[in-house]
Amino acid sequence: MSAKVAVVTGGNKGIGLAIVRALCKQYQGEVYLTARDADRGQAALESLASDGLKALFRQLDIDDLNSVISAAAFFKEKYGGVDVLVNNAGIAFKVADTAPFAVQAEVTLKTNFFATRDMLTHFLPLIKAGGRVVNVSSFVSCRSLNQCSPELQQRFRSEDITEDELVGLMQRFVDEAKTGEHKQGGWPDTAYGVSKLGLTTLSMILARRLSKERPNDGILLNACCPGWVRTDMAGPKAPKSPDEGAVTPVYLALLPPGATEPHGKFVSEKEVQTW
């Protein structure tokens, strides 16, 4: 039987590296640190090795569909699938960034929503029975939901929203941002917030699909917030260390065998949050 395997995206620094570090200590299987840049990935691997921890490396740029597809093929070939997937990779423009909102919307949605969706499209079929899937979203997904028009809020909270409908709504946000009409369209004025709102909603849709299509496989898929964490993204004033930020994602990644919940939830500080 193949070894168990855990895969973390954006593992070369910040919360992703802390998730890899915690999995190296706690997971009974092989842990893959993936990164879009091989040199940054190798440097991270060496930093773990200097602490006596052993992770494996695989290049993976989630924005590059070929990279996603070839990584999925690699894990299928080598391990027959994946046991734990943590979609951590993400981007955020700095508040001071002067890039036009239209550009920020397109670029942010591309990585945080569309590329993470590509990961899920190509990796979910590989997730083995008993597998765990964790999407690192953010508490701003909840705040952004509450700032949407009542019509949009209703769709994002509904149990019958489909993946296609969600993709259409996320594309609509990008299109309306380009013409400066997103606020009239019922959206909040935050590209990052909408990208994570999309990711949390996608997590709920895919969890419902897993329950329907693979009811006996015991796979648990959730979105979570790591908290406000001191990383290159959030800056030095955030209260949590990366290791503290890794706690909730790792808790979801290591939900014990036979657990039936949480599933399809948004989780913060190890607690299911109201959506």
Question: Does the footprint of ligand NDP cover residue 172 (CB under 6 A)?
Answer: no
**Interaction of residue 104 with ligand NDP, rule CB under 6 A:** no
Asked if 101 touches ligand NDP (CB under 6 A), the answer is no
- Told to check if 21 binds ligand NDP by CB under 6 A, we report no
Sign, CA torsion 129/132/135/140: positive
Partner residues linked to 132 by β-bridges: 84, 220
In the annotation, is 251 catalytic? no
Which two three-digit tokens encode residue 135? 């999407």
Contact status: 118 vs ligand NDP (CB under 6 A): no
Q: Which residues contact 232 (CB under 8 A, 6 or more apart)?
A: 13, 14
Please pick, from the candidates 16, 81, 193, 218, the single residue that binds ligand NDP as defined by CB under 6 A. Answer: 16
- 236 CB contacts (<8 Å, ≥6 apart)? 230
Distance CA 192, CA 15 (A): 17
Please provide the distance, in angstroms rounded to a whole number, between the alpha carbons at the two ends of the chain.
40
Given candidates 232, 261, 269, 271, which one binds ligand NDP under the rule CB under 6 A? 232
Query: What are the tokens at 151?
Result: 């019509």
Among 8, 15, 109, 250, binds ligand NDP (CB under 6 A): 15
Q: Select the span of 21-29, 90-98, 118-126, 259-267 touching ligand NDP (CB under 6 A).
A: 90-98
Q: Which residues contact 54 (CB under 8 A, 6 or more apart)?
A: 24, 48
Listed ranges 123-131, 154-162, 172-180, 225-233: which one lies at the site for ligand NDP (CB under 6 A): 225-233
Binding site for ligand NDP (CB under 6 A): 9-10, 12-16, 35-37, 40, 61-63, 88-92, 111, 115, 136, 138, 225-226, 228-229, 231-234, 238
**Residues forming the active site:** 192
